[in-house]
Amino acid sequence: MNNEIIRGRHRAPGRHNPLNELKLLARETAQPAMKGAAFVAATGGLVATFANPASAEPLSATTAGAAAVGPTTGAVPAASTALAKIGYAPVAQKAVSQPAAAPKPRVIEDIQVKTERAATKAAAVKAAAVKAAAEKAAAERKAAAERASRDLTRRTLTATTSTAKAVSNGSVPSASSGMRSDHNWATAGQCTWGALAKWYASEGYYPGGWTGNAMAWASGAANAGYTVTGTPRTRSILVMQPGVHGSSGVGHVAWVTAVNGNQVTIVEMNALAGAYNYNTRTLTDGPGMKYIYAP
For 123-171, how does the pLDDT look when each residue is reduced to its tens digit (9 = 90+)? 999 999 999 999 999 998 888 888 887 777 767 665 655 555 544 444 5
DSSP result, the chain: -------SS---TT---HHHHHHHHHHH---HHHHHEEEEEPTTS-EEEEE--TT-PPPPHHHHHH---S--SS--THHHHHHHHTT--HHHHHHHHSPPPPPPPPPPP-HHHHHHHHHHHHHHHHHHHHHHHHHHHHHHHHHHHHHHHHHHHHHHHHHHHHHHHHHHHHHSPPPPP--EESS--SPTTSHHHHHHHHHHHHHSSEE-S--S-GGGHHHHHHHTT--EESS--SSEEEEE-TTGGG-BTTBEEEEEEEEETTEEEEEEESSSS-TT-EEEEEEE--TTEEEEE--
Higher pLDDT, 141 or 106: 141
Predicted model pTM: 0.45
Least confident of 82-96, 102-116, 175-189, 213-227: 82-96
29 in Cβ contact with 13 (< 8 Å)? no
Please report which confidence band the pLDDT of residue 84 belongs to, taking 50, 70 and 90 as the band edges. Answer: low
* pLDDT the model gives residue 265: 97
Least confident of 52-66, 120-134, 272-286: 52-66
Higher pLDDT, 20 or 284: 284
Least confident of 72-76, 156-160, 220-224: 72-76
* pLDDT the model gives residue 146: 83
CATH of domain 180-293: 3.90.1720.10
